[in-house]
Amino acid sequence: MVVFSGMEFLFRFLPIFLAVYYITPQKYRNTALLFGSIVFYAVGEPYFMLLLLASVYLNYILAKKICFYETEHRVKNKKKLKKKIIRKKKNKWLIAALLLDVGLLVVFKILGTFFGNEILPLGLSFYTFKMISFQVDIFRRDIKKLPTFERMAVYFMMFPQIISGPIMRYEEDDFTQEKKKYSWERLEEGLQYFILGLGTKVLLADRLAILGKDIHTIGYESISTPLAWLGAAAYSMQLYFDFWGYSLMTSGLCVMLGFPFIKNFDHPYSSCSISEFWRRWHMTLGSFFRDYVYIPLGGSREGRGRTVRNLLIVWLLTGLWHGGSLNFLVWGLVLFGLIVIEKLWIGKWLQKYPLIGRCYVLILVPITWTLFAITDINQLALYLGRLFPFIGGKGIAVNPHDIVKYLGMYGPYLAAGVIWCVPAVYRFVEKHRKHPAIIAALVGIFWLSVYCTVSMGNNPFTYLKF
């Protein structure tokens, strides 16, 4: 049930939940969403349900403590409390909240490194980041008033986002029933986004993933350099369509439930630099690290040296957040190096010549995704040798005609992927989504996705691992 593209979710959980949600009187729909989310999570991850509930409850208690001392500060003249003492107590409770949330994440990440990602609670990284942002925003008074326990629990646990985000910030009005927008038009709009995401995931990402499995089965020592580059390009699209598809699906679900559409991707493969690529990729994660790590460390306000230090910390944390193996650390450090080079030297030049910048991105990004994808360092070195045979590999000499075979097999999916990456194509579909032809196409995409899922199996979303 935890897989949005699975038959249990599409034909059991979702229609039943939506019927109950819309039958429920509007003022009780947060309650319906909370109970639906508990059922959703408990079915998919029963062993860690208590951990999630305990985390939600403890975060609420700690947020109350922070808010209590904020209230004391505002009435300090009546209470005769000193400002420094109150500030110290507020800091103490914020530190306690961060130790709880960060500590929980670190412990399970370490366990996952030694015992495999299967030991990680579903959605841990994403709901923990929500909890961290909530506590910091309460402390900063970006959230002016402590919400009710129910509203806070819905924010942490709402089923569209608990698996893999997006990491939506808490905005109090979004969780008040008076501010939500309900209509048949909104329901239809959300369903259209959901189907676009479903097709992106099932018809593109899952099909391109088979190429990666084929290359792995063949063995990296037995593939040519052209096939190695084809595999890197295919994985780049697979990962993008997998997570973009998920993001469209979860944002569509949020629209159906009366929440705003959360934009998590902005066509990153049309970027002109690696820095711009990462501003457009997984935007809510990037904004989390920017607002809660990079800027508090000083951002780029304190000279080049500290800017480089702050970027290093952010990208080390980003790499370690994705996994504890060495390849993720290398991946983070390589991205850090590229972004520093752009920030200090070539960034403006790349923006001035966008064609060169886009070619630069389309060459470098697949290489960085290779570092991300292959966790075994020896296998990673072998694959890099196939990508760059002039450095010491023999990729060109091995099976020189394998590229013809696999282009024939996967060329249509790659061509469709290239087209779907073009921003103008998506904007056209989005703008004309009420046109009968687009509606008919979406109906076809839905049933073709169902057919492919039933007949070929369903791959879990890649970001479930993180």
Q: What is the 3-state secondary structure (H, E, C) of the chain?
A: CCCCCCHHHHHHHHHHHHHHHHHCCHHHHHHHHHHHHHHHHHHHCHHHHHHHHHHHHHHHHHHHHHHHHHHHHHCHHHHCCCHHHHHHHHHHHHHHHHHHHHHHHHHHHHHHHHHCHHHCCCCHHHHHHHHHHHHHHHHHCCCCCCCCHHHHHHHHHCHHHHCCCCCCCCCHHHHCHHHCCCCHHHHHHHHHHHHHHHHHHHHHHHHHHHHHHHHHHHCHHHCCHHHHHHHHHHHHHHHHHHHHHHHHHHHHHHHHCCCCCCCCCCCHHHCCCHHHHHHHCCHHHHHHHHHHHHCCCCCCCCCHHHHHHHHHHHHHHHHHHHCCCHHHHHHHHHHHHHHHHHHHHHHHHHHHCHHHHHHHHHHHHHHHHHHHHCCCHHHHHHHHHHHCHHHCCCCCCCCCCHHHHHHHHHHHHHHHHHHHHCHHHHHHHHHCCCCHHHHHHHHHHHHHHHHHHHHHCCCCCHHHHC
* pLDDT tens-digit readout, 56-106: 999 999 999 998 766 655 554 545 556 777 778 889 999 999 999 999 999
pLDDT at 218 over 70: yes
CA angle at 425 for the pair 423 and 427, rounded to the nearest 5°: 70
What is the longest distance spanned by two Cα atoms in the chain? 83
* pLDDT tens-digit readout, 400-455: 889 999 999 999 999 999 999 999 999 999 999 999 999 999 999 999 999 999 98
CA dihedral sign, ordered 133, 134, 139, 142: positive
> Considering 73, 216, 282, 322, which one is annotated as catalytic?
322
The residue whose two tokens read 């969403």 is 33
Mean pLDDT value across residues 235-255 = 96
The residue whose two tokens read 């039943």 is 16
Least Cα distance to 59 among 131, 8, 117, 110 occurs for 131
Residue type, 82: K
- The answer to whether 322 is a known catalytic residue is yes
pLDDT at 394 over 70: no
Q: pLDDT value at position 67?
A: 86
Q: Whole-angstrom Cα distance, residue 101 to residue 138?
A: 15
pLDDT at 236 over 60: yes
pLDDT at 1 over 60: no
- Contact in structure between 249 and 194 (CB atoms under 8 Å): yes
pLDDT at 125 over 60: yes
More confident call, 204 vs 3: 204
The pLDDT-based confidence of 117 (bands split at 50, 70, 90) is confident
Mean pLDDT value across residues 4-17 = 94
For all residues of the chain together, what is the average pLDDT?
Answer: 91
Q: pLDDT value at position 86?
A: 74
Q: Return the minimum-mean-pLDDT range out of 34-38, 55-59, 301-305.
A: 301-305
Q: pLDDT value at position 393?
A: 54
Q: Of how many residues is the chain composed?
A: 466
Q: pLDDT value at position 371?
A: 97
Q: Whole-angstrom Cα distance, residue 42 to residue 378?
A: 39
* pLDDT tens-digit readout, 321-361: 998 889 999 999 999 999 999 999 999 999 999 999 999 99
